């Protein structure tokens, strides 16, 4: 990819299960990286937490190791690192003390469902029920979004309630926590969030790109604890002396799925699907705010500068994708490593009539059923490990089909382009998974040479912020097809439809199981 100047940018990718730091050259080629997993905390069923301080430690380690590795290459000089961009797990909520810089509670992770009772209470109290905030925020009332987690913290953690009353509490999603600490923390840290992360709180007005005062009043959330909202490309401050890369500016920030859209260079009418812990499908709707009639979310795609136009998106969020593979590995011990699932699933020609709905913490789009729980149906004496492994891969693909059907109905896209899909994320390396996805969708699935497009999108944002690239050079390079792998469907429409109907029956069986003793 052509660059306006020479130099390097870094991308800090803080995900649900790991943190990575990658250094890219001016052709957007990764030259060094490091990745560290961190602890997943499960205090009780349905609760998921992270230690915010451990996340900071992984950031420091990843920066240090990636920088060391880059220096070992002949072409890298630390003084040529122009900027870094940040991308992060969305909706995960942190509240910390302004005066001490210490978290007042663990981070509550996006998939956590402890706020179910709060959601039910609000649905009863507010006109419009679950869709009360959709017109303003594009989002339904759900355990998924940060506002519900913040309400829980304010109501249930005395330290948070007291700090908020005294004006000592700061709220943020993970991007805000990282930027505040990287830019100096107590006294000098920059308390900001980018518009894509803000769009996942349920507190943002999509039209004004500002916190919605009416929503804050209805939810009893003090505006004083909220960060300032910025675009995805602008100078957010320099890294402080306590960190590696001291003095380097942070010039880009996007939520992980929005970064993947930029990394995939999705223009209006183009969609991508990221297969990570969850699976997230976004369709760029340009400057049009499209309200879903089929269970999807309306959100921001990206805003590439303070004065740049805002691109919006329709999103289908799937809570459990790669996390189901981790469950097979860690809880059922069917595999030793995540990569083993491909070989195990290939040991059988099909799932043997087994269907797996991984509704561990409920179902997100397009169902929005937090009372759903996982089901494995169609088991017989014939069923073996391979069938369960294959059904696990198929579960990701069936969920993606549900979302894409809703998405294209909402956007009124031409049927000839209905299921053309760009894919990325760690699980996209699995060739069998991608072939199953093409079979179930009945169309081509396009996988780029670099599947880590989330980090690449953060790098693009950082580079745009310092003039390393221009918007036109980033998006024009989308026409290149070097290294793209295309998966074509290999089954017929009759088989595809029959399997999808069976999947739909399994999904119905997952509803209403949350309260089973």
In this predicted structure, what is the pLDDT of residue 515?
A: 79
As a whole number of angstroms, the distance between CA 171 and CA 156 comes to 15
Q: Do domains 8-257 and 323-446+487-509 have the same CATH topology?
A: yes
Distances (CA, A) of 48 to 93, 109, 121, 294: 11, 6, 22, 28
Number of H helices, E strands in the chain: 16, 22
What's the pLDDT at 3? Answer: 60
Domain segments of the chain as ranges:
8-257, 323-446+487-509
pLDDT of 41 over the 70 cut: yes
State yes or no: pLDDT of 417 exceeds 50: no
Answer whether residue 82 shows pLDDT above 60: yes
CA dist list (Å): 376 to 353, 358, 401, 505: 11, 8, 19, 12
CA distances from 36 to 21, 33, 58, 196, 263 (A): 9, 10, 6, 25, 22
Given this model, what pLDDT does residue 482 score?
Answer: 64
Does the model's pTM come out above 0.85? yes
Q: Is the pLDDT of residue 186 over 80?
A: yes
DSSP code of residue 362:
B
Enter the tokens of residue 225: 């604890």
Note the pLDDT of residue 269.
Answer: 85
Q: Average pLDDT of 403-424?
A: 75
pLDDT at 4 over 70: no
Whether the pLDDT of residue 96 is over 60: the answer is yes
Mean per-residue pLDDT, 482-493: 90
pLDDT at 2: 58
**Beta strand 279-286 with 297-302: parallel, antiparallel or unpaired?**
unpaired
Which CATH superfamily does the domain covering 8-257 fall into? ATPase, nucleotide binding domain (3.30.420.40)
Query: pLDDT band at residue 42, thresholds of 50, 70 and 90?
Result: very high
Residue 418: is its pLDDT beyond 70?
no
Polymer length in residues for the chain: 517
Report how far residue 101's alpha carbon sits from residue 216's, in angstroms, rounded to the nearest whole number.
24
- At the fourth CATH level, the homologous superfamily of domain 323-446+487-509 is ATPase, nucleotide binding domain (3.30.420.40)
Dist. CA 58–CA 55, nearest whole Å: 5
Mean pLDDT, the chain, whole residue set: 92
Q: How confident is the model at residue 416 (pLDDT cuts 50, 70, 90)?
A: very low
Given this model, what pLDDT does residue 459 score?
96
Distance from first CA to last CA of the chain, Å, rounded?
A: 57
How sure is the predictor about 478, in pLDDT bands with cuts at 50, 70 and 90?
A: low
What is the C-alpha separation between 507 and 512, in angstroms, rounded?
A: 11
pLDDT digits (tens, 9 = 90+) for 122-150: 999 998 898 999 999 999 999 999 999 99
- Residue 17 CA to residue 19 CA, distance in Å, equals 7
Residues 10/462, Cβ–Cβ less than 8 Å: yes
Is pLDDT larger for residue 169 or for residue 449? 169
**13 Cβ contact list (under 8 Å, min separation 6):** 19, 20, 21, 22, 87, 88, 256, 259, 452, 454, 455, 458
pLDDT at 180 over 60: yes
Integer Cα distance of 9 and 11 in angstroms: 7
Select from 1, 182, 139, 157 the least CA-distant residue to 94: 157
Percent of residues, the chain, with pLDDT higher than 70: 96
């Amino acid at each position: 990819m052509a660059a306006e100047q020479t130099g390097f940018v870094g991308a800090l990718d803080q995900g649900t299960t790991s943190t990575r730091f990658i250094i890219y050259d001016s052709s957007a080629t990764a030259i060094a990286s490091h990745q560290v997993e961190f602890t997943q905390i499960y205090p009780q069923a349905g609760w998921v937490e992270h230690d915010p301080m451990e996340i900071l430690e992984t950031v420091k380690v990843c920066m240090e190791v990636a920088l060391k590795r880059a220096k070992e290459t002949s072409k890298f000089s630390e003084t040529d690192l122009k900027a870094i961009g940040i991308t992060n797990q969305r909706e995960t909520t942190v509240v910390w003390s302004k005066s001490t810089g210490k978290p007042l509670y663990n981070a509550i992770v996006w998939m956590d469902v402890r706020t179910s009772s709060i959601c039910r209470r609000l649905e009863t109290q507010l006109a419009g029920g679950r869709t009360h905030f959709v017109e303003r925020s594009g989002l339904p009332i759900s355990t998924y979004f940060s506002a519900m987690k913040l309400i829980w913290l304010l109501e249930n953690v005395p330290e948070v309630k007291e700090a908020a009353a005294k004006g000592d509490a700061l709220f943020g999603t993970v991007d805000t926590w990282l930027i505040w600490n990287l830019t100096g923390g107590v006294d000098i840290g920059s308390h900001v969030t980018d518009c894509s992360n803000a769009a996942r709180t349920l507190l943002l007005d999509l039209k004004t790109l500002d916190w919605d005062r009416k929503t804050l009043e209805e939810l009893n959330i003090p505006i004083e604890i909220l960060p300032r909202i910025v675009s995805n490309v602008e100078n957010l401050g320099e890294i402080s002396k306590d960190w590696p890369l001291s003095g380097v500016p942070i010039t880009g920030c996007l939520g992980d799925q929005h970064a993947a859209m930029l990394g995939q260079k999705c223009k209006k009418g183009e969609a991508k699907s990221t297969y990570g812990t969850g699976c997230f499908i976004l369709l760029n709707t340009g400057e049009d705010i499209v309200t879903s009639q089929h269970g999807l979310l309306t959100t921001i795609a990206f805003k590439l500068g303070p004065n740049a136009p805002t691109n919006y998106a329709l999103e289908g969020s799937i809570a459990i994708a790669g996390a189901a593979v981790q469950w097979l590995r860690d809880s059922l011990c069917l595999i030793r490593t995540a990569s083993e699932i491909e070989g195990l699933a290939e040991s059988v020609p099909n799932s043997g009539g087994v269907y797996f709905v991984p509704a561990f913490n409920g179902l997100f789009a397009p169902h929005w059923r937090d009372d759903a729980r996982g089901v494995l149906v169609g088991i017989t004496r014939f069923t073996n490990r391979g069938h369960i492994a294959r059904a696990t891969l198929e579960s990701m693909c069936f969920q993606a089909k549900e979302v894409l059907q809703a998405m294209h109905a909402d956007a009124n896209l031409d049927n000839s382009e209905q299921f053309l899909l760009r894919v990325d994320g760690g699980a996209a390396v699995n060739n069998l998974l991608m072939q199953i996805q093409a079979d179930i969708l009945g169309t081509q699935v396009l996988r780029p040479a670099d599947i880590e497009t989330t980090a690449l999108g953060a790098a693009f944002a950082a580079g745009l912020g310092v003039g390393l690239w221009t918007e036109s050079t980033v998006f024009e390079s989308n026409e290149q097809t070097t290294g793209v792998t295309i998966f074509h469907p290999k089954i017929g429409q009759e088989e595809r439809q029959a399997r999808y109907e069976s999947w739909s029956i399994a999904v119905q069986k997952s509803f209403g199981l949350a309260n089973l003793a």
